[in-house]
């Protein structure tokens, strides 16, 4: 099991679990906020979730209030806001810090993945990390990259396809 799978998580409803609950699925982890210019991305995230969830894809939203106080609500207020305004059905964690001395262990691991203009620390709300079925970070997207962009969809489809090929290298279906 990778380091990511061992990381404890508290879901928005108080359920204690760990990232291992996603083992075998492709996961898009996104730090989210209710009062951000990027908040409308919840619509695109939910659309992605509906499109790919039956293919072994999950989204994990991580509410964070570290950027200009854009997520001031309680966990229950956040859940209600997301459901009422955007029909969000993907899981959310309890509010967490994604940087700094109290950085959640999940983000301590995720931010080790560096690509292009996104090295190190999370820059703002709605930064996205794509994790493959084995728990490896395979892509990272800036907050301004829309969830339904070709860049994100192509990366998700590649991660889903790579996982399938790994499980069935011949590409042939079983008799």
3-class DSSP string for the chain: CCCHHHCEEEECCCCEEEHHHHCCCEEEEEEECCCCCCCCHHHHHHHHHHHHHHHCEEEEEEECCCCCCCCCCCHHHHHHHHHHHHCCCCCEECCCCCCCCCCCHHHHHHCCCCECCECCCCCCCCCEEEECCCCCEEEEECCCCCCCCHHHHHHHHHHHHHHHHHHCCCCCCCC
Active site members: 36
Is residue 79 scored above 70 in pLDDT? yes
Q: How confident is the model over 32-55, as pLDDT tens digits?
A: 999 999 999 999 999 999 999 999
- pLDDT value of position 172: 52
Confidence of residue 9 (pLDDT cuts 50, 70, 90): very high
User: Cα Rg for the chain, rounded, in angstroms?
Assistant: 16
Residues 77/45, Cβ–Cβ less than 8 Å: no
Query: Which pLDDT value is given to residue 2?
Result: 55
- pLDDT surpassing 50 at residue 1: no
Domains of the chain: 4-160 (3.40.30.10)
Considering only residues 115 and 18, tell me which one the structure prediction assigns the higher pLDDT: 18
φ, ψ of residue 89 in degrees (nearest 5) = -120, -10
Confidence of residue 168 (pLDDT cuts 50, 70, 90): very low
pLDDT tens figures, 148-166:
999 999 999 999 998 554 5
Distance in angstroms (rounded) separating the CA atoms of residues 18 and 60? 12
Give the sign of the dihedral formed by CA 67, CA 33, CA 22, CA 130: negative
For residue range 97-152, list pLDDT tens digits in order: 999 899 999 998 898 876 655 567 888 999 999 999 999 999 999 999 999 999 99
């Amino acid at each position: 099991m990778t380091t990511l799978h061992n990381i404890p998580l508290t879901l928005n409803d108080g359920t204690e679990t760990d990232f291992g609950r996603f083992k075998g699925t492709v996961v898009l982890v996104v730090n989210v906020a209710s009062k951000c210019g990027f908040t409308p991305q919840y619509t695109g995230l939910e659309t992605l979730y509906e499109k790919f969830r039956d293919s072994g894809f999950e989204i994990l939203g991580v509410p964070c209030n570290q950027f200009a106080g854009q997520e001031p609500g309680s966990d229950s207020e956040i859940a209600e806001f997301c459901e009422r305004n955007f029909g969000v059905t993907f899981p959310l964690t309890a509010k967490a810090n994604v940087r700094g001395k109290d950085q959640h262990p999940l983000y301590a691991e995720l931010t080790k993945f560096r690509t292009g203009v996104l090295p190190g620390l999370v820059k703002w709300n709605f930064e996205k990390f794509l994790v493959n079925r084995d728990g490896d970070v395979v892509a990272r997207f800036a907050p301004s990259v829309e969830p339904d962009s070709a860049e994100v969809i192509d990366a998700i489809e590649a991660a889903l396809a790579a996982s399938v090929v790994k499980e069935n290298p011949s590409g042939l279906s079983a008799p």
